[in-house]
Structures are given as structure tokens and as C-alpha cells.
Amino acid sequence: MHGLNIITASIGMAWGVAGQGVPKPGADGRYTISAPGIRAQFIAYGATLTNLFVNNKNGKEVDVVLGYDDAAYYPKDTSHPTYNSIPGRYANRIGKAQFTIDGKTYRTQKNDGQNTLHSGTNNWSYRFWNVTDVSTDSITFSIVDKEGESTGMTGTVLGNVTYSVAANATWNIKMMATSADVKTPLMLTQHTYFNLDAYKNPSTSQIWDHTLSMPYSRRYLAIDSGALPTGQILTASAGSINDFASAPKPLGHARSTSAFRGNCGSGCEGYNGFWVFDDNTPKDAVILTLASPWSGIKADLRTNQVGVVLYTCAWSDGSANLKKTQGTGSRKKVEKSSCIAIEAQDYIDGINRPAWGRVDAQITGPGEVYLWSSSWTFSQL
């Protein structure tokens, strides 16, 4: 009985084609892939990463991303943040919930004040994707987003994401998408929330002791009270609140300044913005390093994107549970400012800002292929 299951599973995994049987997750509802120094788990809902295990400075496995223990709970809890999934077809905000292509204006759903966030309430991160390929170190999820399924979006989009792991604790993410029949906004990201201490640092659950380095990102987008870019591109002077370019710094380096509260919009402490990579950033450069002195874990990000969104969880309100792989006996909840979401992507609302020169990059038409890739490499301090 047991043997038979294994044979069936491995045939499904090897062929991994629709019609040959959809690959099944493990008993815990998750798909697991691994390579030396890294183990990652996923569910089809949102093409979500649920667990990511890497080694700390003592060689002990740590689950460094947020999520839930119960795989079946993700779709039930619609109020959860975009936990480690793929927002789409247009990530982050669309200003005033509208965009124009070839002179025609399309109106999207206002689900974030006057703006659209993550394409509205039928966003890709809240849908069940198809699992189209699984092996021991790689998994592919696919989605068909039909015309009319996302309010105001035009045309049908076919998308997929392949997550793989490799030696030296590397996590690779590759997304491809095409538009079947018309030009449509297409701008994706992978939206993972990290706490490199797995909430086990006895002295703090907050993210402010983690250090951040973004050597190619002196520039960032100014935002309004609703976290929508105003159109201005600012340059952070060395030592100022949004400066992580001049040297690696604790995320809380400006915590004692008055700028810290309100830096990410009305009532928002810390960060929720977009940093731009310099035009002359070397290809394949590490554009961001997040590290925790306590766990001794360091995470290096490489990407083909032109910038990155950082969000330090100001809106986490202590209601969500931590996983059993995280926290301490008394610490069981995701408190405010206790995590950081890092989302490599194109300019927020670039579709409505011709001056930035990103409109063409954010619209995909028939015959074109949208490509997004990033990799995270984990090591020990």
C-alpha cells in the first residue's frame, strides 16, 4: 500500500502534466522541496510559500518566513496579509483605480481608499493555482486569469511561477506570463514576509534589530498618506531615514526620530515604499542584504527587477498566530512591526506615470512574454 503510493507519486512528479494526475501534497497539505542547507514548503493557494528552513549560525534549522500551521486555513482567513504569495496581475497600487491603454480608460476596483491594491479582491494571491510540475527541488504553479475575473482588467492572462532550491541554500523564483488577446497591465512580485529570528529572540520580536543593506538604492519614490507614489523620485542623503545605501543599517536606525512615524503613510511607522535600483547596477549584483545579528542568518537578494518594495508590518495587529516553528512559550502572535515584506518589482503605479518611462515595461500584449526572476541566497554571519 505504502509502496504503491510512492510509485504513483513519483510518476505524477516525473510527468507532472495535466491529465497524468495532479501531483498531491504531503500529509501536512504542503509540497516540500529541498537542497543542501534549505527546505521550502508550498501550497497551491496563492502559489504560497508556507515555510522556509535555513540554518542559523549554530547550524540549527530556522523557519524564516511568516505563515500558518494549518494549510487549509489560508483560504478561510481572507483578512490575512499577502503571505508569501504572488499578487497579480498588477502588484501593489493603481492610483485612483484607473489606467489608460491606447486612449481607452479602464476602471479597476477601489479596495484601498481611492486606489486599487494588488488588483482588487480577486487577486492572484487569493486563488487556487494549478500545480503543473513537481520534483524534489522544484515546483511550478500555473494560473489562467480570465477576462473579467479581476475587476476592470482587460483580456486573459496565463501565468506561472517556478520555485526551486539549489546548493548553498539558494531559493530561485521565476515567473512567466503572457496575454492571450489584448494589451494588459502585467506587473508581478513575490510577496514574502521575513523574520530571520523566527520570533525566538528573547529580547525582541520586532524587526528593528535586523540590518538592511541596499547599496544601489539611494533613490526612492515619495508617497502620499495612502502610500501611493506622488510622482516625485527622492534621493536619501547618507544617514537619513530612508538611507540603506551608504552602509548596512539596523531597520530601526531612525526609530528615535520624528520622521519614523508617518514615514509609510498616515499612522504608519517604519517603511512601506519603493526603492529604485541605480541604472548602472551590475547584472546579477546582490541588490539587497537582510541579516539578523541574533540568529546570524544573512539573506542576499538578486533580481531582474528595477526596484524593491519594503514593508515593515506596521499594520500587523497581533491577531494572527505564529507557526509552531516560531515564537517562544509566551510569544505566539504576529505583533506590529515584527516582520518585513521584501518585494522585488517594477515602479509602483508606473502604468500611470509616463515620466518614469515604465509604461511599456508594465503593459504586455499578445506575442510578448513577461519575465520576472529573483533569487535569495542564505548564509551565516
What is the nearest approach in angstroms of ligand NAG to the Cβ of residue 140? Answer: 4
Indicate the residue among 326 and 364 with the shorter CB distance to ligand NAG: 364
What is the nearest approach in angstroms of ligand NAG to the Cβ of residue 253? Answer: 29
- Residue 98 contacts residue 107 (beta carbons within 8 Å): yes
Binding to ligand NAG (CB under 6 A) within 350-379 occurs at 369
Query: Rounded to whole angstroms, how far apart are CA atoms 169 and 163?
Result: 13
Indicate the residue among 201 and 272 with the shorter CB distance to ligand NAG: 272
Radius of gyration of the chain (CA): 20
Whose cell is 478561510? That residue is: 76
118 in contact with ligand NAG (CB under 6 A) = yes
Phi, psi of 351 (to 5 degrees): -65, -25
Which whole-number Å values give the CA distances from 375 to 21, 23, 94, 95, 330, in the listed order? 30, 25, 26, 29, 34
Segment lying near ligand NAG (by CB under 6 A), choices 66-74, 142-150, 245-253, 259-267: 142-150
Of 71, 22, 18, the C-alpha closest to 8 is: 22
Q: What does the per-residue mask of binding to ligand NAG show for 12-51, with x meaning CB under 6 A?
A: ------x---------------------------------
One residue of 13, 35, 97, 143 binding ligand NAG per CB under 6 A:
143
Query: What single DSSP character describes residue 237?
Result: P
111 in contact with ligand NAG (CB under 6 A) = yes
Segment lying near ligand NAG (by CB under 6 A), choices 6-14, 100-108, 159-167, 315-323: 159-167
Indicate the residue among 143 and 214 with the shorter CB distance to ligand NAG: 143
Segment lying near ligand NAG (by CB under 6 A), choices 52-60, 61-69, 136-144, 323-331: 136-144
Q: Where are the alpha helices (DSSP H) in 142-196?
A: none
Which whole-number Å values give the CA distances from 84 to 8, 25, 62, 274, in the listed order? 30, 18, 17, 18
One residue of 114, 121, 237, 304 binding ligand NAG per CB under 6 A:
121
Q: Where are the alpha helices (DSSP H) in the chain?
A: 2-15, 359-362
Residues 6+ apart with CB under 8 A from 330: none
What are the grid coordinates assigned to 54, written together? Answer: 535555513
123 in contact with ligand NAG (CB under 6 A) = yes
Give the binding site for ligand NAG (CB under 6 A). Answer: 18, 78, 111, 117-118, 121, 123, 126-130, 132-133, 140, 142-144, 158, 160, 162, 167-168, 176, 178, 369
